[in-house]
Amino acid sequence: MTSDYYFFNNSCQIYNNSLINSLNRTVGDTFFTKSAFEQSLSLWQDVPLVLAQNHPNPYLFKTDRKAALNAVNGKIVGKGTNARIEGDTLKLSLKICNPEALAYQKAGTLSLSSAFIGTRSTKDNKLVSINSVNHILLFPADEHNKPRDRTVRILNMTTNNDVNAIMNEDGTPTLLTYVRAGLISYADAGLCENPISEQLNKRDEATGGLNWDSIKKVWY
């Protein structure tokens, strides 16, 4: 293990249900085909998580990781595992082992952006294949620095029922799930603080179409 890894078991948090990329839609100027990601799932195993404000140069990162990190004042703070596709989203489990990154996540400002090298069609800008996965950038988002794919999220949906995700039909979490994960406030989601209360408006866009029995299971 090289010195640019900061893995301390007593300070790690695993976010099991993180949304890395939206598929079958245009991100930036490239159409992210689902098939390209389906064929590359093994490449995402143990992808390094880089905490910085900007992406390190991916080519330099492959040949001289330390120099690439120094150029952006970055550091490796964890890794991604368990890549899978659910609906039209690429999901990973993110193991974050750095107090600064975890503090940003607790504050609800930590965002992400993936970096991979692929082949794109010159005819229609569709992603044909992913040749290598380089890193995932973790950064504190603000009004000037946001991911191009606004659907990406770092979520901790555990399997022991202490937090249960409520999902939309397209496989993405509902706003109530984001509130439950501590990423946004009740006010930002347009929800009252007692989700079981009759005050919760079922016609609210943020909650429309939810399974109300499932909501009760989350909160009880």
Please give the angle made by the CA atoms of 63, 68 and 74, to the nearest 5 degrees: 140
Q: Where are the domains of the chain?
A: 9-140, 175-219
The whole-angstrom distance between residue 35's C-alpha and the CA centroid of its chain comes to 20
What percentage of the chain reaches a pLDDT higher than 90?
35
Q: How far is it, in rounded angstroms, from Cα 157 to Cα 97? A: 18
Both tokens of 191, joined, read 């929800």
User: pLDDT, tens digit, for every residue of 191-210?
Assistant: 555 544 433 444 444 444 44
Question: Looking at the chain, how many residues does it have?
Answer: 220
Q: How far is it, in rounded angstroms, from Cα 17 to Cα 127? A: 24
pLDDT at 89 over 60: yes
The DSSP secondary-structure symbol of 123 reads T
pLDDT at 99 over 70: yes
* Burial 20-38, CB ≥16 within 10 A → b, else e: bbbbeeebeeebbbbebbe
pLDDT at 184 over 80: no
Decide: 145 and 155 in contact? Cβ < 8 Å: no
pLDDT at 116 over 80: yes
Q: What is the longest distance spanned by two Cα atoms in the chain?
A: 59
Helix (H, G, I), strand (E, B) or coil at 144: coil
Helix (H, G, I), strand (E, B) or coil at 200: coil
Of 67, 74, 90, 92, which Cα lies nearest the Cα of 16? 92
Of 217, 45, 61, 40, which Cα lies nearest the Cα of 134? 61
pLDDT at 87 over 50: yes
Both tokens of 167, joined, read 């999902």
User: pLDDT, tens digit, for every residue of 7-59?
Assistant: 444 468 888 778 788 888 887 788 999 999 999 999 999 999 999 999 999 99
pLDDT the model gives residue 153: 55
Q: 28: Cβ–Cβ under 8 A, 6 or more apart, which residues?
A: 148
User: pLDDT, tens digit, for every residue of 143-167?
Assistant: 666 555 455 556 553 333 323 344 5
Q: How confident is the model at residue 188 (pLDDT cuts 50, 70, 90)?
A: low
